[in-house]
Amino acid sequence: MVDKRLFSLVPGVRGLVLGKIICLWIGLVSDIALAGTVTVLVAALFPQTSVHSALQSIGISGPSGFMLIAIATLAIAVVRFLAHHFATRLGTEAAERVKLGLRSELYRKMLRLGPSYAQRARTSDVVQLTGEGVDQIQSFFELFLPQLGFAILAPLTLFAAIAPLNMPTAVVLLVCAPLIIVIVGAIAMTTAKTFKKYWGKYTDMGSAFLDNLQGLETLKTFDADARAAEQMDRNAEDFRVMTMRVLQIQLRSLTAMDVVAYGGAVAGIGTALWQYVHQGHTAFTSAASFLHVFNGPTLGVAAVLFVILVSVDFFLPLRQLGSYFHVAMNGMTSTKRIFALLDEPDRTYGDRQLPQGALDVTTRDLGFTYAESARPALHGVTLTMPARSLTAIVGESGSGKSTLAALVAGELEGYDGALRIGNVELRELSERALTGAVSIVGARSHLFAGTLRDNLLMACPGASEGDLRDALARAHVLDMVDMHPQGLDMRIEQDAANLSGGQRQRIAVARALLHDAPIMIFDEATSSVDAESERLIMRTVHELAERKTVILVTHRLADAVDADAIAVFDHGACVETGTHAELMAQGGQYATMFRAQASVEQVGQRARNCGIAYAAAPASNTVEHNVKQPESAHTQCTPMTTFQLVRRLLGQVGDLRPLMVLACCFGTLGHLAATFLPVFGVMALCAAAERPVWGLSVGWAVAFMVVCALIRGAMRYCEQYMNHNLAFRLLALFRGQMFAALRRLAPAKLTGKGKGDLISMVTTDVELLEIFFAHTISPTVIALATTVVYAIALLFLSPWFAVLLVVAHLLIGVAVPAWFARALHGVGARIRKQSASLDDDVLDDMRGLEQIIRFGQGRARLARIDRQSRALWGQRVELSARNGVFGGFDHVIIVLVTVCAALLAVFASRGDMAMAARNVTAMVLVVSSFGPTLALSALPASLTQTFASARRLFALVDEEPAVEELGTLEPEYHGMRMEQVTFAYGARTPVLRDVTLDVPVSGILGLQGPSGRGKSTLLKLLMRYWDPQQGAVALSGDVLPGVDAHTRRRLQMMMSQETYLFDGTIAGNLRIANAQAGDDELREALRKASILPLVESLPQGMETPVGELGGRLSEGERQRIGLARMFLRHADLYLFDEPTSRLDALNEAHILQSINELVSERDAAVVLVSHRASTMKIADEVLHM
């Protein structure tokens, strides 16, 4: 049931759990002492006729006697307070230690697995396991495990307290206790698989959300976000159904436990009454003279009263164990998934070191096959890459170039054949030797959220500012940095969303230069930079080759011309090697590829024949619009008071109010039954003692006890079912509202928002709302309703007890929670903020794990995660400490009220035996009435995070989008126009200033210019990601704000620099553009994108999974599938942002021809952004920015 590794993972946890068990046990002993004290005080009322003689009979008279009562009460109250306080603190300490250890171990595991971890687990799963998955274990260690030990001790302790009074009663109660253990065990056996499916659905939902979130720009571009929202709603509904299935299992078990527990209490009380009526004997031996009331030939009233007071508590620890079961199962299921990941075999390294100086790289018969792929990515590769030279690796997209680079860099494992660095087999190298020897810059090199300085210092922590500036200058990006007000301390947002593609790549190059490894690999490192930057970076590459081993993976053959050696790859094999001159002389595949540039030149002839056409008139109603700029990328809490927040949450209930009303009714009946069960027991005792209350006989009182036991079990089921049915329907609604808000905000307002934070919102934050809807609304109503009923009942028994009860309940249910809530001000918001930050950082680190390992920053990044975990630990310990203090106050109040009720019963009886019976009954009602109100007292601790989560969710829902899509015009396409447009991101320097541009009705318009000049921004303004601060953008003469969004997306289409592929199949990704497309249409689109032969060669064809972020495909393959998606869409305007930046000349020629065909066949317009002169050959007109 419990994985023992959890204890070995963090030393001292066993002691903390044991300490909490002991504290819980001490609290139970104090409760027994309180019950004994109360029994001693009131038991003498029955045979005595005056207060004085009653007190004398138990050895209490005069001031000293009352002082003894006061001291005993104070001692019990202090012990109860301390026991509760330390139990709460020890449980939290145990849980937080385990969480810290587990989170650290998970991170270390990711470092040991390396970048290939994605072959074992989805990134979203890792984020969820590291965040909420670890948090699920908190309840297991904080609540369930200590309760398990306490649940074993409690019945034995209570048995030891009751047995000396009456063995038959003690035996009956003890016999019923194991039945609850049997029920809990049976549930554990039957629900393990269900909980596994439940957690699987939960993580799948988080993964699907992350996938849709990251690809939301693509979904909106293709007007497919509504379909994705419908799928998300179906996922949420499936999860709700699964959750209700789990809940029903739990509720059936809880109902059975309640019936056994309350039925057992009835059996115990009934046995005690039987013993009393039939003169049963007690084996009690007096430990003190004043306890002689328990002695005698028959079971006395005192003993029966004591049994009544403790009988329900006899089963309370076991019932509490059952109520913790679902959180325990969540924790155990989460633990199994975590350990399943921890049990994955580590990446294996050797122990050999490399010699100093330059290192060559050689391969012999090298082969590699990706997991779940039948086709080898490399086979039979024999190649030498000498030291102090530049070796260029060229070939068509998907030919294995990047796979070879990844193998040399150590990013992949499991190769066949030989791969040697410096005459040492790569698999024999130590991790430090391998990561220190090779530095790699890829087309998608990750930049971490933080500052530019932080990113650069990762590669060389000891670098001076001069070193950093020199690296930036060699990467041709220093000018951009110097223009920024913050320079090296400029902020880099998550996913480097505030940088252009070229800027991002050049910073990655600068970072790699700082690493200064003897082997440098540039894998399409200049694919997104302009021609001049590319020329300067290539000059730096050649300079590096004079003293290092440089491997250049490129599809741009011009970059390979001056290489010392060129290796040509085709379908995973190295088919040619030599210099440029030698390969051209051979007339083989390299020469064919190089001459393909001529075919690219010929593609451009369409422009001379067809030309470009513009609208006859400019935009007729251009106006100036103001764009709404985000103040921050992070979701801020809306300034709502708690009252406003509660009112808004209640407003979400809507048509589900009947469920809420039924839950309140069922809960009220259930709690009344639980409270009146011991009250009817006392009435039965009074009737047996010939002092009936309300004329109730023993038989009727026992019958009512049985009815109460049955009602409690049934009502518990009904209340919880209604509560959770309401809650889970609302949680599904919230998830839908959240995704709808993200759709509205995307893409402009999502730039820079933490994706890990957003995953946390759709999972953890939404789940926390369950506390409000399932565990706050009805408990509040129940506490109020039951208090009123109790007060009315007490008015008919003894009015003074009604006053005492109202005062006590006001203290516990109003005063203490209000005081508690003030003490917790801001704690929940800080916990949620730090949790979100942790999720963001984990996601960021998983995305850049290769760089973390490469630069030896694993320990530093882990320390950062640990600091955040410890900060969360501190916040939760603060919450726990305050919870322990105020929970302790509740127990102190209950102790004092209980003793006051006993004293009131004694003094208010005034020797009247009939009144004494009513007073004792009233006392038991007061003592038993605190359950519903105690639930209110605990709410501040539960709601502090819930309200913080609600504020975060409502802040997202209320956030204003950058553009309001309220237009209603549905024009046909007659060109677009930008008129005197000025645009800046927030308060930064304008990216575009006073730009006027006409977009053609048909033909190809090319846009060229250095990186960072606003080319991509211009396309996004045409797509209305933003509105300009000045000027206007118009479609067919109508300004974009007035045009219907769906019409606009039907008319125009854009492919951005970074092609996003969803975690599904090739066909599924294509159908995002056209959900109704048949297989023939998909094949034609793939043909136009020059990738059909590759897809048809795959065993699963178009049903081949592409993996997370398209990770099973090469950069070029991803780009071509993105292009195929564009060709599927029948639009009038196509916007291409670097469509061939990662393609070889042959594929580029084919795709440019397809774009030409697109324009000719559909009479469409194309705006083409590219740094490549070859790409611009098809443009009818080229504008330079």
728 contact partners, CB below 8 Å, separation of at least 6: 240, 243, 244, 247, 770
Which letter, b or e, does each residue of 1061-1094 get, where b requires 16 or more Cβ atoms within 10 Å of its Cβ? bbbbbbbebbbbbbeebeeeebbbbbbbbbbbeb
Closest CA to 28 of 137, 131, 161: 161
> Which among 56-65, 233-242, 262-271, 383-392 has the top mean pLDDT?
383-392
Half-sphere exposure (Cβ direction) of 515: Cα atoms closer than 13 Å: 29
How far apart CA 365 and CA 368 sit, in angstroms, is 10
The mean pLDDT of the chain is 85
Q: How many residues belong to the chain?
A: 1185
How far apart CA 725 and CA 720 sit, in angstroms, is 8
- Do 361-563 and 609-623+974-1184 fold alike per CATH? yes
Dihedral angle computed from the Cα positions of residues 689, 691, 695 and 701, in that order, rounded to the nearest 10 degrees:
-30
480 contact partners, CB below 8 Å, separation of at least 6: 503, 1012
**Is the domain covering 5-344+635-957 a CATH 1.20.1560.10 domain?**
yes
Spatial contact of 1001 and 975, defined as CB atoms under 8 Å apart:
yes
**Is the predicted pLDDT of residue 836 greater than 80, yes or no?**
yes
- Beta-carbon count within 10 A of 1103 CB: 13
pLDDT in tens, 949-963: 999 999 989 988 888
**Is the predicted pLDDT of residue 308 greater than 80, yes or no?**
yes
pLDDT in tens, 676-699: 999 999 999 999 888 899 989 999
- Predicted confidence at residue 527, as pLDDT, reads 73
- Predicted confidence at residue 661, as pLDDT, reads 95
Helix (H, G, I), strand (E, B) or coil at 994: strand
Domain range summary for the chain, segments of one domain joined by +: 5-344+635-957, 361-563, 609-623+974-1184
How far apart CA 341 and CA 129 sit, in angstroms, is 10
In angstroms, the Cα distances linking 741 to 124, 533, 959 are 21, 40, 8
Closest CA to 666 of 615, 722, 626: 722
**Is the predicted pLDDT of residue 825 greater than 70, yes or no?**
yes
**What is the 8-class DSSP label of residue 917?**
H
**Domain 609-623+974-1184 is in which class?**
alpha beta
In angstroms, the Cα distances linking 505 to 397, 526, 765 are 20, 7, 35
Q: What are phi and psi for residue 972, nearest 5 degrees?
A: -80, 165
How far apart CA 1045 and CA 630 sit, in angstroms, is 21
Q: Predicted confidence band at 783 (pLDDT cuts at 50, 70, 90)?
A: very high
- Predicted confidence at residue 488, as pLDDT, reads 93
Q: Predicted confidence band at 199 (pLDDT cuts at 50, 70, 90)?
A: low
How far apart CA 966 and CA 1043 sit, in angstroms, is 8
**Is the predicted pLDDT of residue 291 greater than 60, yes or no?**
no
E strand or H helix at 159, and its extent?
Answer: helix 145-162
Q: Predicted confidence band at 1065 (pLDDT cuts at 50, 70, 90)?
A: very high
For the segment 872-893, the average pLDDT, to the nearest whole number, is: 90
- Predicted confidence at residue 617, as pLDDT, reads 52
Task: Give, in degrees to the nearest 5, the angle at Cα 1039 between 1038 and 1044.
Answer: 80
**Is the predicted pLDDT of residue 463 greater than 60, yes or no?**
yes
**Is the predicted pLDDT of residue 628 greater than 50, yes or no?**
no
Spatial contact of 805 and 929, defined as CB atoms under 8 Å apart:
yes
Q: What percent of the chain has pLDDT over 90?
A: 39
For tokens 């939960």, the residue is: 202
Whether cis (ω within 30° of 0) applies to the bond prior to 747 is: yes
561 contact partners, CB below 8 Å, separation of at least 6: 580
Spatial contact of 600 and 1177, defined as CB atoms under 8 Å apart:
yes
What is the tally of helices (H) and strands (E) in the chain? 44, 21
- Predicted confidence at residue 610, as pLDDT, reads 61
pTM for the complete prediction? 0.81
How far apart CA 263 and CA 268 sit, in angstroms, is 9
Q: Predicted confidence band at 837 (pLDDT cuts at 50, 70, 90)?
A: confident
Which letter, b or e, does each residue of 363-380 get, where b requires 16 or more Cβ atoms within 10 Å of its Cβ? beebbbbbeeeeebbbbe
Q: Predicted confidence band at 61 (pLDDT cuts at 50, 70, 90)?
A: low
Which letter, b or e, does each residue of 311-335 get, where b requires 16 or more Cβ atoms within 10 Å of its Cβ? bbbbbbbbbbbbbbbbbbbbbbbbb
How far apart CA 317 and CA 152 sit, in angstroms, is 9
Pairwise pLDDT comparison (323 vs 660), residue with the higher score: 660
For tokens 């004398």, the residue is: 56
pLDDT in tens, 899-945: 999 989 988 887 677 888 999 999 999 999 999 999 888 889 889 99
How far apart CA 890 and CA 814 sit, in angstroms, is 11
288 contact partners, CB below 8 Å, separation of at least 6: none
For the segment 838-853, the average pLDDT, to the nearest whole number, is: 84
How far apart CA 599 and CA 602 sit, in angstroms, is 5
- Beta-carbon count within 10 A of 660 CB: 19
**Is the predicted pLDDT of residue 342 greater than 60, yes or no?**
yes
- Predicted confidence at residue 600, as pLDDT, reads 57
**Is the domain covering 361-563 a CATH 3.40.640.10 domain?**
no
**Is the predicted pLDDT of residue 726 greater than 50, yes or no?**
yes
**Is the predicted pLDDT of residue 104 greater than 60, yes or no?**
yes
Q: How far is C-alpha 297 from the chain's CA centre?
A: 65
For the segment 155-162, the average pLDDT, to the nearest whole number, is: 91
For tokens 């687990």, the residue is: 121
How far apart CA 520 and CA 244 sit, in angstroms, is 55
Helix (H, G, I), strand (E, B) or coil at 419: strand
- Beta-carbon count within 10 A of 1185 CB: 14
**Is the predicted pLDDT of residue 319 greater than 80, yes or no?**
no
Helix (H, G, I), strand (E, B) or coil at 1150: helix
Closest CA to 134 of 159, 109, 113: 109
H helix runs in 215-224, sequence order:
216-221
E strand or H helix at 96, and its extent?
Answer: helix 62-113
- Predicted confidence at residue 1048, as pLDDT, reads 93
- Beta-carbon count within 10 A of 791 CB: 17
Q: Predicted confidence band at 637 (pLDDT cuts at 50, 70, 90)?
A: very low
Q: Predicted confidence band at 19 (pLDDT cuts at 50, 70, 90)?
A: very high
Spatial contact of 529 and 510, defined as CB atoms under 8 Å apart:
no
User: What is the secondary structure of 180-203 as a DSSP string?
Assistant: HHHHHHHHHHHHHHHHHHHHHHHH
- Beta-carbon count within 10 A of 941 CB: 22
- Predicted confidence at residue 51, as pLDDT, reads 39
What's 1087-1125 look like in SS3?
HHCCCHHHHHHCCCHHHCECCHHHCCCCHHHHHHHHHHH
Q: What are phi and psi for residue 192, nearest 5 degrees?
A: -55, -45
How far apart CA 929 and CA 922 sit, in angstroms, is 11
Q: Predicted confidence band at 188 (pLDDT cuts at 50, 70, 90)?
A: low
How far apart CA 727 and CA 659 sit, in angstroms, is 10
For tokens 């209930």, the residue is: 653
- Predicted confidence at residue 1131, as pLDDT, reads 92
- Predicted confidence at residue 25, as pLDDT, reads 96
Pairwise pLDDT comparison (106 vs 253), residue with the higher score: 106
The terminus-to-terminus CA distance of the chain in angstroms comes to: 66
**Tokens representing 930?**
């605190």
Q: Predicted confidence band at 50 (pLDDT cuts at 50, 70, 90)?
A: very low
Q: How far is C-alpha 645 from the chain's CA centre?
A: 23
**What is the 8-class DSSP label of residue 775?**
H
- Predicted confidence at residue 988, as pLDDT, reads 72
